[in-house]
A and B are shown apart, each in its own frame.
Chain A
Amino acid sequence: MVMMLPFVTAAIGTWQAMRGKRGSCLGWWLATFVIFVAWSHHHMTGTLPISL
């Protein structure tokens, strides 16, 4: 899992916004969100140390 990927895509999205490309920025935000969900699945599906 390449953990730096969401920062790279977020930076590219911000760069696109700075250049005035709104659609491209939205696309890169969506890519960042998809990576975030994938990483969340990888890192946040273990068992919690609590009992109910």
Chain B
Amino acid sequence: MQSAFTSPASWVRLLNLAALAAICGALLFAFIWQIAFNEPPCPLCLLQRAAFAMAGIGLVLNLRFGYSPTHYGLTIVSSMAGAFAAGRQVLLHIAPNDTGFGSPFLGLHFYTWAFIAFCVLIAFCAVMLMLEQQRPVPSPSAGAARLANSVIVLFFALSVANAISTTLECGFGACPDDPTGYLWLP
């Protein structure tokens, strides 16, 4: 029996899965940080999270339907949009003596990490498009399919969790530029 990731196509699948898992990790880490340190995200932070969610959809499509330039295109356009929002936030806090928004992690603020992550995602898609050949995608083994489904379900759950969290923070109106609490929580 062939192992889960032996053929080149399986490696492409593994890399797409790893990229989606990385997006899940970024969204999950931001979510945990938000709750643990009581730092509600600002509107630009939420836009970056939304861009991660959009970028992940391209990878989900790759895993679910096979690899296509259209799917990579979705991830690239989403990552460009996210990099735009993150870059804008970096510029907002680039002036001297500006301490930035929120707490830094490993010396960089989350929006700076997000900018780096979006650039890496764009580079990832570019490399994958260069390496991939047009060929039918083999069906994954049961173990690989189960693993992919688990990551996709986690990604879906994180999108739902962000929708709920954002509603609790901002209600159905605009979010404050510098949020300090949750509108719908006592």
Residues of A bordering B, CB below 8 Å: 1-4, 6-8, 10-11, 13-15, 17-18, 20, 22, 25-26, 29, 32-33, 35-37, 39-40, 42-44, 48-50
Contacts and interface: CB of A to CB of B under 8 A. Distances in A.
A29 B95 contact: no
Given A4-B167, A14-B60, A48-B92, A40 B81 contact: yes
A1 B173 contact: yes
B56 A7 contact: no
Interface string B141-175: 00000000000110110011011101101101111
A9 to B, nearest CB: 9
Nearest to A5: B163
Interface in B25-71: 43-44, 46-47, 49-51, 53-54, 56-58, 60-61, 64-65, 70
Contacts of B170: 3-4
Interface of B: 43-44, 46-47, 49-51, 53-54, 56-58, 60-61, 64-65, 70, 74, 77-78, 81, 84-85, 88, 91-92, 94-95, 98, 152-153, 155-156, 159-160, 162-164, 166-167, 169-170, 172-175
Contacts of A48: 91-92
Contact of B166 (A4, A20, A35): A4
Given A43-B44, A48-B92, A7 B53 contact: yes
A32 B53 contact: yes
A25 B64 CA distance: 11
A18 B156 contact: yes
Nearest to B159: A11
Contacts of A22: 61, 64-65
B103 to A, nearest CB: 21
